[in-house]
Amino acid sequence: MPEGTLYIGTRRYSSWSMRGWLPVRIAGLDVEEVVIPLAGGNTPGVKAVSPTGLVPLLEHRGNRVWETIAICEYCAELAPELWPADFAARAHARAIAAEMHAGFRELRQAMPMNLGPMRRGPDRREPPLDQVARIDAIWRETRARFGAGGPYLFGATFNAADAMYAPVVTRFLRYAPPISREARDYCDAVRAHPLVAQWHDDAAREPAEWVLDSYEAIS
């Protein structure tokens, strides 16, 4: 019998669900996954289960955890490899993960996550290039300082900071804003990670009825 439930939204669109799901799976939590098809905001099924009206929501061993950054921390208590072992690297990982959790609103709105076919909808907006450049710099600087020995931000281990930026990778690969060669290589490495690949595969199997015209219009 599973030890709880992870509630997520439509995989095709729900970037925050992806950010919560990755650490839960890396930590190997034995939780049932419940996917709630998003309705484009104020989804009744999400409101019925989540205190914030948002997903992801993790229920595990009687604990309820919402907000992706808190889910990362919860999972890291059980799987410490979700943060780097080195003190300075760990501080940096938390800082860049928190920056993602708190920011880049304009980038997220202009380049919404959509794992379906590209449509180039009429409402497509210009990406905020200053925010694209900031993320590019975060990735390059982090990899230069801490990334030796592997393709991820902190080297060989895909950790919570990578999980927080994984939906940005899907956006950069889809919308192709101008990014550095190093950032592009990082995107390719994240896309090839088995769990990221699994998320994409599962998204591709979602029912056609879950596709939202309003979300497709800006993709």
Ligand X SMILES: N[C@@H](CCC(=O)N[C@@H](CS)C(=O)NCC(=O)O)C(=O)O
Residue 105 is encoded by which pair of tokens? 């609103």
Strand order in the sheet with 57-60: 32-36, 4-9, 57-60, 63-66
Decide if residue 97 touches ligand X (CB under 6 A): no
Q: How far apart are CA 136 and CA 143, in angstroms?
A: 11
Given the complex with ligand X, which of 17 and 114 has the nearer CB atom? 17
**Which residue type, as a one-letter code, is found at position 102?**
A
Number of residue whose CB is nearest ligand X: 43
Given the complex with ligand X, which of 174 and 184 has the nearer CB atom? 174
Given the complex with ligand X, which of 8 and 183 has the nearer CB atom? 8
Rounded least distance, CB 171 to ligand X, Å: 13
Q: How many residues does the chain have?
A: 219
Q: How far apart, in Å, are the Cα atoms of 71 and each of 11, 52, 95? A: 17, 14, 16
Rounded least distance, CB 44 to ligand X, Å: 8
Nearest to 130, CA basis, from 151, 110, 145, 160: 110
Decide if residue 43 touches ligand X (CB under 6 A): yes
Decide if residue 68 touches ligand X (CB under 6 A): yes
Residue from 6, 7, 11, 15 that binds ligand X (CB under 6 A)? 15
Decide if residue 208 touches ligand X (CB under 6 A): no
Site size with ligand X, rule: CB under 6 A: 17
CA R_g for the chain: 17
Decide if residue 142 touches ligand X (CB under 6 A): no
Decide if residue 206 touches ligand X (CB under 6 A): no
Tell me what percent of the chain is helix, strand and coil, each rounded to the nearest 5: 55, 10, 35
Decide: 47 and 22 in contact? Cβ < 8 Å.
no
Burial 195-211 (b: 16+ CB within 10 A, else e): bbeebeebbeebeeebe
**Which residue type, as a one-letter code, is found at position 23?**
P
Using the rule CB under 6 A, give the single segment among 33-41, 129-137, 155-163, 178-186 that binds ligand X.
Answer: 33-41
Decide if residue 14 touches ligand X (CB under 6 A): yes
Residue from 22, 31, 38, 138 that binds ligand X (CB under 6 A)? 38
Decide if residue 215 touches ligand X (CB under 6 A): no
Binding site for ligand X (CB under 6 A): 9, 14-17, 38-39, 41-43, 46, 54-56, 67-68, 101
